[in-house]
Every structure is written in structure tokens, then in C-alpha cells.
Structure 1
Amino acid sequence: MCPYCQAENADRALVCASCSRDIAVPATLIAERDDLLRKRDQLRDELARARDEIETIMRRRTSR
């Protein structure tokens, strides 16, 4: 699918057959995206653990 005009294109097409825009994504960008998605997921997990820890601490404080 073309991200610009939403036309369907052949697999591995470099240019959209409909709007003639460049639709190829370099492998390095795909690898970088995958790495960033992995890091994002790790940060989300870390944030969830930190929130849980803060919640536990707050509960201990209020129970005293």
C-alpha cells in the first residue's frame, strides 16, 4: 500500500504505480525502527514496574 495515496502496489515496488511517489523503505530504516520499537517496549515495561513500586510505597505510607 502506498502511504500517500493508499493505492495497492506490487510487493517490493520502489515507486507507487498510481502517484509515482517513492515508497521504498531502506533496510537500515526498518532495522532502526525495529530497534526503537524494542527499546520503547522495554521502557514501557520499566515504567510499569516503577509505577507499581511507587504505588506499593504509597500504600505502605498510608497504612502506617
Structure 2
Amino acid sequence: MICPYCQSDTGEEALVCSACGRDIAIPASLIAERDALLRKREMIRDELHKAEAKIAMLRSQTKFR
């Protein structure tokens, strides 16, 4: 089994990663759900940065009027 946190190769029966010490007995479905949420968070952050840039642009345009 590969540790989902540090990517170290652990034994198939391991409950705790020998490299990073984290619990790796987490069901695969929870790891997949976590990964999906992390991707969604990154998409939302990207949208936020784009919106902030647009707001900054609009504010700078109104200063010159």
C-alpha cells in the first residue's frame, strides 16, 4: 500500500505509515472524497482570484474617469 500522505511504500497490512506516522487505515472512499473536495477548493480559489482581479481592474478604471 502507498501512503496517501507521504507516498511511501508501506506493507499491505499496515495501519500506520512507518515513514510519516499517519493513520493509513482510512477507507479508499474517504480518500477519494477528500481528493474531490481538495480539487473543488482549488477551483473555488481560482474563481476567487479571477473575481478579485476583475474587481481591481474595474476599480482602477473608475479612478481615471
Q: TM-score range by the shorter chain?
A: 0.5 to 0.7
Instruction: Give the TM-score of the pair, scaled to structure 2.
Output: 0.67
Q: Supply the RMSD in Å over aligned alpha carbons.
A: 2.4
How far 1:23 moved relative to its partner? Answer: 4.3
Larger radius of gyration: 1
Q: Which residue of 1 aligns with 2:41?
A: 40
AA at the equivalent of 1:48: H
Give, in whole Å, the separation in 1 of the partners of 2:64 and 2:11.
61
Q: Call closer, same or farther: CA 1:37–1:15 in 2, change over 3 Å.
A: closer
> Against the structure 1 CA distance between its residues 16 and 61, is the aligned structure 2 distance closer, same or farther, given a 3 Å change threshold?
closer
**Which residue in the other structure is 1:60 paired with?**
61
Show the counterpart of 1:11.
Answer: 11
Distance in 2, matches of 1:44 and 1:15, equals: 32
CA pair 30-16 structure 1, distance change in 2 beyond 3 A: closer
**Which ranges of structure 1 fall in alignment gaps of 5 or more residues?**
2-9
Q: By how many angstroms is 1:41 displaced? A: 0.6
Q: Which runs of 4+ in 1 moved over 2 A?
A: 14-17
Structure 2 residue runs of 5 or longer lacking an equivalent are 4-9
